[in-house]
Amino acid sequence: MDGFKKRLNESIQLKLSLALSMAIVLVALLAGIFSFVTAFDEAHELQDDTLEQVAMLFDRQALAPLSSGSAQDSSEEHRVIVQHLAGSNQTSGTPAAGVLLPATLSDGLHTLEVNGQMLRVLVKTTARKERIAVAQDTDTRDEIARDSALRTLLPLLVLVPVLLLVVADLVRKMFRPIAALSMEIDQRAEQELHPVQEANLPVEVRPFIVAMNRLLARVGQSMDVQRRFVADAAHELRSPLTAMSLQAERLAGSEMSAPARERLAALRQGIERGRNLLDQLLTLAKAQATPGLTKSPVSVRDIYRRVLEDLMPLAEARRIDIGIEGEQDAQVLVSELDMIAMVKNLVDNAIRYTPQGGRVDLSVATVQGRAVLNIQDNGPGISLAERERVFDAFYRTLGSDQVGSGLGLSIVKAISDRIDAEIVLGFSDEVKGSGLRVSILFALAKA
């Protein structure tokens, strides 16, 4: 019960459906009572009219009561008793069906009990100055009136459940645009901050949508400011780092002691790491800020070759066996710059995190109408617990001794979200749970 109350307080749709249903049931109940009472009374009036018509028939046709003092239908339920009343306290003739009506009744309609039986009696004085009584059992009258009243309620009893179902369906359809709106907003990517369309929404919801669009605009402006700050800071820091790198190169040509040369090597390594970090920051800012580059059919194997040309010196320095597996190729509709950035970051990560003398393989396959780019290595891999966090900026896997910025997978994730690609992480060796396999799924370019 508490759960239903909570749902009722939280759901406008449920509250509206319940309120309308209760209103319909209440109105139907009042209308049913009124209809039943009205039909019941009208049935009684009709039965009284029947008694009057029987009396008029006896008067106009100058009919005399039967020897038994009664005329009755063959059906026991519809019997009508007709008696001739004398001027004394006794009726003439033999009592009909054991019913003896008093002769003192005045003209008109009466309801009285005779011999333990309730009767509705009409007394009338005929044109021949004779008094006759036409009677009918009230139980029979009530049963006939009740059946007639219930028949008038039957359409209402059938229509009320149908009306409740129709109301519930209409309320659900009225809230369908809001449900579609929530689904559309929920399926948006992080960078999709364009305004929500108001055209097909109810007027009552539009103020909320206007406020939401203003909030989205403010969030977009705030994110743009942050991206510009990161990009500007990275640009500003590149010049001093470049100057420091040149000074370190000049200093390396000077004569110095062995300890000083070791410290100079550490300094140059730190400067190089800073330059790589700035390059990664600029790449990430571009990946997040660029609304969309021109797309064209791109060969995956051509991208692999261009990336390997750039990263082959790093692979050779770490004695990594790197290459492209198989002969299959695929054409994907994407920006060439985006594709190069994604593959380069993934291959660079694979080379850096694979132990010296390891192996990195690049391949492409076509599965269910989509191109699947696979980049796998025989390094330590990424545990299941860390696979959600590795896409966060500056996050590096635990226990790693590699020097990096922690931005490579963040860049890949930002680009994939923007171009509607899907990233899947897995183990190269599923049995041993080792190595990393990164699969990127693209839609194939139409021929």
pLDDT in tens, 267-294: 877 877 777 777 777 777 666 665 555 7
pLDDT band at 94 (very low <50, low <70, confident <90, very high): very low
pLDDT band at 138 (very low <50, low <70, confident <90, very high): confident
Last residue of a domain, one of 233, 260, 289: 289
Same domain? For 199 and 325 the reply is no
Task: Give domain status of residue 13, yes or no.
Answer: no
Same domain? For 297 and 437 the reply is yes
Same domain? For 65 and 40 the reply is yes
- Provide the sign of the torsion angle of the four alpha carbons 96, 98, 103, 108, taken in this order: negative
Task: Give domain status of residue 5, yes or no.
Answer: no
pLDDT above 80 (res 7):
no
pLDDT band at 124 (very low <50, low <70, confident <90, very high): confident
pLDDT above 80 (res 134):
yes
Question: What's the structural domain count of the chain?
Answer: 3
pLDDT above 70 (res 97):
no
Same domain? For 328 and 269 the reply is no
Q: What is the pLDDT of residues 239-268, one digit of tens each?
A: 777 778 788 777 777 777 888 878 888 887
Same domain? For 305 and 432 the reply is yes
pLDDT band at 72 (very low <50, low <70, confident <90, very high): very low
- Provide the sign of the torsion angle of the four alpha carbons 342, 344, 347, 353, taken in this order: negative
Looking at residue 124, the DSSP 8-state letter turns out to be E
Task: Give domain status of residue 8, yes or no.
Answer: no
Same domain? For 277 and 313 the reply is no
pLDDT above 60 (res 89):
no
Last residue of a domain, one of 117, 133, 159: 159
Same domain? For 152 and 208 the reply is no
E strands in 266-419: 296-299, 321-324, 331-334, 359-367, 370-377
363, 325 contact by CB (below 8 A): yes
275, 246 contact by CB (below 8 A): no
What is the pLDDT at residue 90? 40
Same domain? For 153 and 207 the reply is no
Same domain? For 279 and 398 the reply is no
Same domain? For 277 and 303 the reply is no
Same domain? For 137 and 251 the reply is no
Helix axes 258-289, 408-419, angle to 10 degrees: 10
Closest CA to 184 of 204, 200, 160: 200
Residue span of the structural domain in which 410 resides: 293-443
Last residue of a domain, one of 257, 289, 321: 289
Same domain? For 204 and 272 the reply is yes
The percentage of the chain sitting over the pLDDT mark of 90, rounded to a whole number, equals: 0
Q: What is the mean pLDDT of residues 97-107?
A: 71
pLDDT above 50 (res 68):
no
